[in-house]
Amino acid sequence: MEQRELRNIFGQFASGVTVITCANSDGLPHGATVTAFTAVSIEPRLCQITLTRKSKACNYLSKSPFAVNILAADQVDTAMHFAGRPQNPEPVWADGPTAPVLCGAAATLSCEPWAEYDGGDHIIFIGEIVAAESSGKDPLLFYRSTFHDLGSPSASAAWNGSMDDPNSGWFDSTTSFTPFHLQPVH
């Protein structure tokens, strides 16, 4: 299988967009746009990021604290900036509990290093989440090599295909029930 074909197949999986931030070797803020992020564990609180071995951030992250900035839908410019296409104005930084963070994110996870593993042409970093915050903003998504947003929510999505759907299932939303033990005996 060709690399391009496999990359296109991986692109069928929609993912959130993050910028992993840390301090570089001079102590200055550094970031890298990453879509390879996932929650790992609630107890202990762990998350995983995966970075190509060729990235500068990969060198800075080894045994170092970092932050996962889950980008908001309005932060396409921020994603592009940290993907190697500098934007003007530059993203705004703030001091975080473990590493520099980006302002305006949908959520931020501040992490201490937990473990790192060989991931072929990538390195897998596991971070212990020591602080987290959410702005309530919708996230930025990446699908088929293009940025997307969530779009309009579907009112029926929770019921899609369910026989309990109050609009089309076994019972409609006006149906009422009386428990057997409360029904009159005939």
Domain assignment present for residue 122? The answer is yes
**If DSSP codes are grouped into helix, strand and coil, which group holds residue 55?**
coil
Place of tokens 């200055």: 28
Q: How far apart are the C-alpha atoms of 101 and 170, rounded to whole Å?
A: 50
- CATH number at 107 reads 2.30.110.10
Looking at residue 143, its pLDDT comes to 83
Place of tokens 């190509």: 52
Looking at residue 92, its pLDDT comes to 96
Domain assignment present for residue 79? The answer is yes
Domain assignment present for residue 124? The answer is yes
Q: How far apart are the C-alpha atoms of 56 and 61, rounded to whole Å?
A: 9
Domain assignment present for residue 106? The answer is yes
Domain assignment present for residue 75? The answer is yes
User: Which residues span the domain enclosing 30?
Assistant: 3-151
Number of domains in the chain: 1
- Chain-centroid distance of CA 183 in Å reads 51
Looking at residue 145, its pLDDT comes to 79
Domain assignment present for residue 112? The answer is yes
Spatial CA neighbour of 92 closest among 79, 83, 101: 101
186 residues of the chain, pLDDT tens digit each:
888 888 788 777 778 999 999 999 899 999 999 989 999 999 999 999 999 999 888 889 999 999 999 999 999 999 999 999 999 999 999 999 999 999 999 999 999 999 999 999 999 999 999 999 999 999 999 888 788 888 777 665 565 656 565 555 555 566 666 666 677 776
Q: Is 104 left (phi over 0), alpha (psi -120 to 50) or beta?
A: left
Alpha-helix runs per DSSP H in 40-136:
56-61, 76-81
Q: How far apart are the C-alpha atoms of 126 and 112, rounded to whole Å?
A: 9
Spatial CA neighbour of 18 closest among 2, 4, 38: 38
Domain assignment present for residue 9? The answer is yes
Domain assignment present for residue 173? The answer is no
Q: How far apart are the C-alpha atoms of 91 and 82, rounded to whole Å?
A: 9
Whether residue 139 has a cis bond before it, omega within 30° of 0: no
Q: Is 14 left (phi over 0), alpha (psi -120 to 50) or beta?
A: beta
